[in-house]
Structure 1
Amino acid sequence: MTEPIPERPPGRATGPARYLPFAAAVALTVLILPVTLVNLRDQYGMSGGGAAALAVVQAGPLLMLAHRPLRAWWIVFPADVVGALAILVRPAHAYDVWPWPPAPLIAYLFLLLALALREPRRTLVGVWLATGAASLALHLVRPDRSTGSGLILPVCGAVVLVIGAAVRERRVAQRRLAEQETVSEAERARRTLLEERARIARELHDVVAHHMSVITVQADSAPYRLPDLPEAAREEFGTIAASARESLAEMRRLLVVLRGDGAEGERAPQPGIDRLQQLVESTVRAGLPAELSLAAGLGAVPPAVDLSAYRIVQEALANVVRHAPGARTRVTVAQDGGGLAVRIVNGPPAERVSPLESAGTGHGLVGMRERVRLTGGTLETGPLPDGGFRVAAWLPLSPSAPADTPAPEDV
């Protein structure tokens, strides 16, 4: 289950980019503060101390735009109203702008933009209504002094809020989409892993069922093949045969669940190393120049290893066809110490053409790793310096306990 996405996007930039909003807030403050001070002192005739104090309250909170714009608004908005009232007691001049002088008006629009990028719609509507109400009230107090800035601020403020809110909503939508894609990819990987495990279970049934059937037949026929057996031994063989038949019945019931309806083809005999030559030949007919090097005298190979080796080669060749069409490929199967070494190496594509599938998910590698883990072997995969790819698996020929849990990269 994913965490609910809050109204305020929690994603933050990393590296030097995370300091850009703070640098912008400092630059804006450094620009607006002296302009406001000079404007209040020279244009509106305020004393130096009063102009400085009012300019600091009006422009200083802009330093909080990057992280606390709402707190900055609670300071700047009353300060702008007080500044408008303070200007009102001064004599009017021909070029006075009232109630919102140019510098505080521009600073207020930047403040609204910062609010729109961080705060929810409800807060933005409240801020805009308060701004419009203050502009209207000041206009009604002295309509003769109003020069139009009381209308400009609500109108421009609404435009800025709409633009900022649209940018913020787009950012939130992109983040939600990215999270959903991440969750979907994880679910696809998990589903693929479960499907591969179910397929392996079906194939193992065919391997294990043969041996269980042999045990049942031998246990049932032992009293007839060995007539001099004591009665206790006969009973023991009967118990073994009954247990084997019960185990086979349980396996077949589980197999019905795993296969589901319409999977009759799964009952065909499972392939092994002896069919690798046919697999490579069919790949060559499909247009992939592949060759097989199969060591002589491999001897008996355990059924699970035999099947796993075939499936690994099959999936590796399919990946070459999908992602590197025309690449020369060599398949090598040989005994290495106490295990079977399976290696599939392909070069770069013969021509720089688009692969048949450009969006690989790596799910084929998930199946390979699961099969190798099942037999207790090891798997190495990765690109080669010349642009090719290498898959190398080592499967023990003697029974080996698989790992209890898959490695993180397996899933």
Structure 2
Amino acid sequence: MTTVKEARPRALLAGASRRWVRLLPWAVAFVLFVSLLPTTIQVLTADYGMNSGLASGLAVAQTAPLLPAVVRPLRSWYVIFAAQVAGALALLGADFEKRLPWPFPPMEIVGYVALCIALGLREPRRTLLLVWLATVGAGVGLEFAAPHGTRGNGTLLIILSGVALVLAGALRERNDVQRRLAEQETISEAERGRRTLLEERARIARELHDVVAHHMSVITVQADTAAYRLHRLPPDMQEEFTSIAATARQSLGEMRRLLGVLRNEDAHGELAPQPGLTQIGQLVEATTRAGVPVEFTPCDSAVPEAVALTAYRIVQEALANVVRHAPGAPTRVSVSETATEDGPRLTVLVVNGPPPEPRSAPLEVGGTGHGLVGMRERVRLADGTLDAGPLPDGGFRVAARLPVTEEDIT
């Protein structure tokens, strides 16, 4: 039979980022112990006339638990509370001056208030309330047993312990709320990034549907008309073309059903033809009208539609980022086809300098990086590479390399 071990509790302030803060509770507990232990023995024996052995035992029971209170304050409270009540009862038989406080000497009040602070930083409200009620009960009950003429200080302990419990408990709850808010913000940011990625994938799927649907339609038409365009086809070849046309039509139907799930019914603009390399010039013109000087090097190469669409979206997002974060910054856009060992590649380059100062200010001080998420997803689906990051002069660079052969992008 296996047993589940109880999780080891953490010390007070163990989650602090600075080391000295984490060590502070231990230092305070140690200072209280080494100062209160001899003081308690001295006061109980010299001032209150208690037996030295009994005074030493009570002093150890009232001060030593302050050290483990850094980790388990409630268990330490059980020992210290019982020891202080026992010490007050023991003082009933001691011969001390009436001017001395009873039932709790000053050094006992100091240790007990420090223990209440530790309790407030660790325990829930219900436990703190029960601790304070026990303190009230002990203070009030001992007041009734006070020796004749002795000045009682149980009310003082009740007030000080209550203030310590309330303040420390409020501080702990405030820190807990801040920690939960920080965790929620982290989760929310991760969810926003995930949602952006999913939305970009859906958009890519819609756009690729339009590209692939065009080619599938061509295949269907060619297969259906093959018998009329090509004379004297053998019967088995005619059946083959008929089968190809039927398969293509079935694929088109399945794609349209998928598109009905992905496409918003109100997004009528998405029914327009998908842009390509020739429309990048229009993006540059619109950006220039927005106050961003752009130097554009176009590319007239014939590339697959999916690659051209990916290049267009990368330039679109990069220029939008320039307008948002570096308005007025000189920008260079270049689209070119280069030959590599792995075949031809389409290189898309968007580089902007730092924004002019103090001519204009960024429209957005910070960004979420979700635009880069969409870029990387598009490039990944196209089996390309993307390099995006800030430049030493304060500018930003986006460089993508996309394969332009059908074999590389399928």
Residue type of the alignment partner of 1:83: G
State how 1:6-405 maps to structure 2 within 5 Å. Answer: 12-14=15-17, 16=19, 17-142=21-146, 144=148, 146-295=150-299, 299-336=301-338, 337=340, 338-351=344-357, 354-399=361-406
- The 3 A distance-change label for structure 1 pair 145 and 268 is farther
On the 8 A contact 1:326/1:351 being kept in 2, the answer is no
On the 8 A contact 1:117/1:165 being kept in 2, the answer is yes
What SS does structure 1 have at the residue aligned with 2:94? coil
Determine the C-alpha separation between the residues in 1 that align with 2:77 and 2:361: 55
Determine the C-alpha separation between the residues in 1 that align with 2:408 and 2:228: 37
On the 8 A contact 2:104/2:153 being kept in 1, the answer is yes
What is the total number of aligned residue pairs between the two structures?
395
Determine the C-alpha separation between the residues in 1 that align with 2:380 and 2:369: 17
Alignment correspondent of 2:5: none
Determine the C-alpha separation between the residues in 1 that align with 2:407 and 2:102: 86
Q: Encode CA deviations 1:143-188: one digit per residue, 9 max, x unaligned.
A: 6355241111112211211111111111111122112212211211
What SS does structure 2 have at the residue aligned with 1:260? coil
What SS does structure 2 have at the residue aligned with 1:104? helix
Superposed displacement of residue 87, structure 1: 2.0
Residue type of the alignment partner of 2:309: L
Residue type of the alignment partner of 1:356: L
Q: Encode CA deviations 1:301-327: one digit per residue, 9 max, x unaligned.
A: 111110001101110111111112222
The worse-fitting range, judged by mean Cα deviation, of 16-25 and 385-394 is: 16-25
On the 8 A contact 2:211/2:306 being kept in 1, the answer is yes
Q: Encode CA deviations 1:70-100: one digit per residue, 9 max, x unaligned.
A: 1110111111111112222112314311011
Determine the C-alpha separation between the residues in 1 that align with 2:62 and 2:336: 80
Determine the C-alpha separation between the residues in 2 that align with 1:91 and 1:143: 10
Q: Encode CA deviations 1:196-227: one digit per residue, 9 max, x unaligned.
A: 11110110011111101110111011111111
On the 8 A contact 2:376/2:386 being kept in 1, the answer is yes
Determine the C-alpha separation between the residues in 2 that align with 1:294 and 1:95: 98
The RMSD of aligned alpha carbons is 2.2
- The 3 A distance-change label for structure 1 pair 240 and 402 is closer
Determine the C-alpha separation between the residues in 1 that align with 2:263 and 2:323: 28
The worse-fitting range, judged by mean Cα deviation, of 371-380 and 29-38 is: 29-38
Determine the C-alpha separation between the residues in 1 that align with 2:33 and 2:156: 22
Determine the C-alpha separation between the residues in 1 that align with 2:361 and 2:27: 45
Determine the C-alpha separation between the residues in 2 that align with 1:212 and 1:247: 8
The worse-fitting range, judged by mean Cα deviation, of 302-311 and 30-39 is: 30-39
On the 8 A contact 1:139/1:150 being kept in 2, the answer is yes
Give TM-score scaled by structure 2 length: 0.91
Determine the C-alpha separation between the residues in 2 that align with 1:78 and 1:198: 67
- The 3 A distance-change label for structure 1 pair 146 and 335 is farther
Residue type of the alignment partner of 1:358: V
Residue type of the alignment partner of 2:351: V
On the 8 A contact 1:292/1:332 being kept in 2, the answer is yes
Superposed displacement of residue 34, structure 1: 2.8
Structure 2 runs not aligned, ≥5 long:
1-8
Determine the C-alpha separation between the residues in 1 that align with 2:260 and 2:267: 9
What SS does structure 1 have at the residue aligned with 2:233? coil
